[in-house]
């Protein structure tokens, strides 16, 4: 029997980012009419490989070819759509030499959506559509870009992580429909059940290198997770260990907390305790920091009580003694046009209950913080963008701790920082918990990092808490199966 044509091939692809060897002689391929899954733990190199395959970055060694002269389209997790534009404008905006009437564009969009088995009015603003229909529009746009090429590859990068229930099932049906038309699909996903259900073959990447390429029918959940993590998985039923009871009332109590992608989340955190929350992309774990801090955008239900005060808004969270370090520091924690001093003093100047101190006192305060936290810069007047990512993060942590909070929610604290800065950040968190009785909620996608630095680990899968274990008495490996 003749094997299907190879449409996309990576051969011995390597990539360095400074001293980091992100990809190590990676070889894999996507064939016509197959769904080929690319899986690996966080930080394994999947994203770098996808960028290389899509032409966003150039490999330092090796080659990426399309032997079948295949057209390539991609749909990423954020979908990349323009909410204010219509479905027609989003889809047809990628057409080359676009000189079409509105009626003709509507016909093009309708024809593509019909092939997907989806019915969406072309004039509908994308922002008015539910998330699953937005995902279909993103696929339609990718197909429009590929045109009528006889051979095509569609890269689907973590798209299903934003879908739930029926929406995820409908999207899976679309992928199966495309496969039946001979399109090769590279499916990047953390959802092991989805991979085993949909994929024909699976490439597992670990620490930037291909661990194996196997037929999906030869794998089960246990075998795939063990291949990804490099360790044996505990028995399917993992009984969560009971955390050590701590004296007194919890400083943070969370009951039935819910949002768009998380529901029924309960958690108590005591003074001086560091509790980690882990999950994979799309599990809902990354939504918890904003929900805990009282974010009002989107759906929010349940109850958060900090030091006896209900938290219903970000300002209420801060007034009750809460602080948060967000994952995207550049967009939500720093003012890029400001100085080191101005960024350190954010939230401390003026207003009821805020600080109002002399400029010389501010400079003294900032100088002391820079020295205490080892922030390397040219001084308080230096532009914040002149600092490295690690030094920016240390400044944000110093700012939060200066407010003497009762609770600190930290989201991806060491993301984008070097090894030395990571160690320094964690040391300051440990000290604050031990010496200041600070309650820390440590939200991170890296299980190993989390496990090594917290008292308890809470695992979230598909929007639900599935484990709450004490690191002193439980097994880290046992959590792997619960996360995927």
Residue 292 or 131, more confident: 292
Give SS3 for 91: helix
Distance CA 357, CA 363 (A): 10
Give the pLDDT score at 230: 66
Give the pLDDT score at 19: 76
Mean pLDDT of the chain: 85
Give the pLDDT score at 246: 54
Residue 153 or 165, more confident: 153
Q: For 413-468, what is each residue's pLDDT tens digit?
A: 887 776 678 888 999 999 999 999 999 999 998 888 899 899 999 999 989 999 99
Residue 305 phi/psi, 5-degree rounding, is -125, 120
Do 6-229 and 252-483 agree at the fold level? yes
Q: Which CATH superfamily is domain 252-483 in?
A: P-loop containing nucleotide triphosphate hydrolases (3.40.50.300)
H helix count then E strand count, the chain: 16, 19
Reading the block at residue 347, the tokens are 């939230």
User: Over 50: is that where the pLDDT of 472 sits?
Assistant: yes
Residue 278 phi/psi, 5-degree rounding, is -125, 160
Burial of 98 (0-12, 13-18, 19+ CB in 10 A): exposed
Reading the block at residue 200, the tokens are 């024909």
The residue written with tokens 């101005």 in the block is 342
Reading the block at residue 94, the tokens are 């990628």
Distance CA 248, CA 230 (A): 40
Give the pLDDT score at 308: 93
Residue 181 or 234, more confident: 181
Give the pLDDT score at 247: 53
Give the pLDDT score at 285: 92
User: Over 50: is that where the pLDDT of 136 sits?
Assistant: yes
pLDDT > 90: what percent of the chain?
42
Q: Where are the domains of the chain?
A: 6-229, 252-483
Residues 6+ apart with CB under 8 A from 217: none
Q: How far does the chain reach from its first CA to its final CA, in angstroms?
A: 35
- Residue 347's pLDDT band, with cuts at 50, 70 and 90, is low
User: Over 60: is that where the pLDDT of 233 sits?
Assistant: no
Residue 258 phi/psi, 5-degree rounding, is -140, 160
Q: For 27-59, what is each residue's pLDDT tens digit?
A: 999 999 999 999 987 678 888 899 999 888 999
User: Over 90: is that where the pLDDT of 100 sits?
Assistant: no
Annotation: CATH topology of 6-229:
Rossmann fold (3.40.50)
Give the pLDDT score at 291: 96
63: β partners: 11
Give the pLDDT score at 167: 74
User: Over 50: is that where the pLDDT of 235 sits?
Assistant: no
Residue 276 phi/psi, 5-degree rounding, is -95, 145
Residues 6+ apart with CB under 8 A from 439: 250, 251, 252, 269, 270, 271, 272, 273, 275, 406, 407, 408, 433
The predicted model gives 64-92 an average pLDDT of: 86
């Amino acid at each position: 029997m003749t094997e299907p044509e190879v449409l996309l091939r990576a051969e011995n692809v390597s990539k360095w980012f400074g001293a980091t060897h992100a990809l190590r002689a990676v070889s894999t391929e996507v064939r016509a009419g197959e769904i080929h899954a690319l899986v690996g733990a966080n930080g394994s190199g999947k994203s770098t490989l996808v960028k290389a395959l899509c032409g966003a970055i150039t490999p330092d060694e090796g080659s990426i070819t399309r032997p079948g002269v295949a057209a390539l389209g991609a749909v990423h997790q954020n979908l990349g759509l323009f909410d204010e534009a219509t479905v027609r404008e989003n889809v047809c905006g990628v057409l080359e030499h676009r000189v079409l009437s509105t009626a003709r564009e509507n016909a093009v969009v309708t024809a593509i959506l019909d092939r997907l088995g989806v019915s969406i009015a072309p004039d509908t603003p994308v922002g008015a559509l539910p998330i699953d229909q937005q995902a279909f529009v993103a696929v339609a746009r990718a197909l429009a870009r590929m045109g009528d090429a006889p051979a095509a590859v569609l890269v689907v990068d973590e798209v299903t992580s934003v879908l739930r229930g029926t929406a995820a099932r409908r999207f899976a049906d679309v992928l199966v429909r495309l496969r039946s038309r001979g399109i090769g699909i590279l499916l990047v996903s953390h959802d092991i059940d989805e991979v085993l259900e949909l994929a024909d073959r699976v490439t597992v990447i670990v620490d930037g290198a291909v661990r194996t390429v196997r037929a999906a029918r030869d794998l089960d959940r246990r075998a795939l997770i063990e291949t990804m993590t490099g360790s044996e998985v505990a028995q399917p039923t993992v009984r969560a260990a009971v955390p050590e009871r701590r004296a007194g009332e919890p400083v943070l109590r969370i009951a039935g907390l819910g949002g768009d992608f998380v529901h029924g989340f309960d958690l108590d955190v005591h003074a001086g305790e560091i509790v980690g929350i882990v999950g994979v992309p799309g599990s809902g774990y990354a939504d918890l920091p904003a929900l805990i801090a009282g974010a009002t955008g989107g759906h929010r239900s349940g109850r958060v009580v900090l030091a006896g005060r209900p938290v219903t808004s970000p300002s209420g969270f801060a007034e009750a003694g809460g602080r948060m370090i967000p994952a995207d520091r550049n967009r939500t924690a720093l003012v890029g046009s400001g100085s080191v001093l101005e960024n350190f003093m954010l939230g401390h100047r003026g207003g009821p209950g805020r600080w109002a101190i002399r400029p010389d006192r501010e400079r003294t305060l900032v100088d002391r913080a820079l020295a205490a936290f080892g922030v390397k810069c040219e001084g308080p007047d230096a532009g914040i963008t002149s600092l490295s990512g690690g030094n920016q993060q240390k400044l944000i942590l110093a700012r939060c701790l200066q407010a003497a909070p009762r609770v600190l929610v930290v989201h991806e604290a060491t993301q984008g920082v070097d090894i030395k800065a990571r160690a320094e950040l964690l040391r300051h968190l440990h000290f604050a918990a031990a010496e200041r009785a600070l309650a820390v909620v440590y939200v991170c996608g890296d299980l190993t990092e989390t496990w090594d630095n917290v008292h308890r680990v809470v695992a979230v899968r598909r929007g639900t808490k599935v484990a709450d274990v004490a690191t002193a008495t439980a097994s880290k490996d046992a959590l792997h199966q619960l996360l995927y």
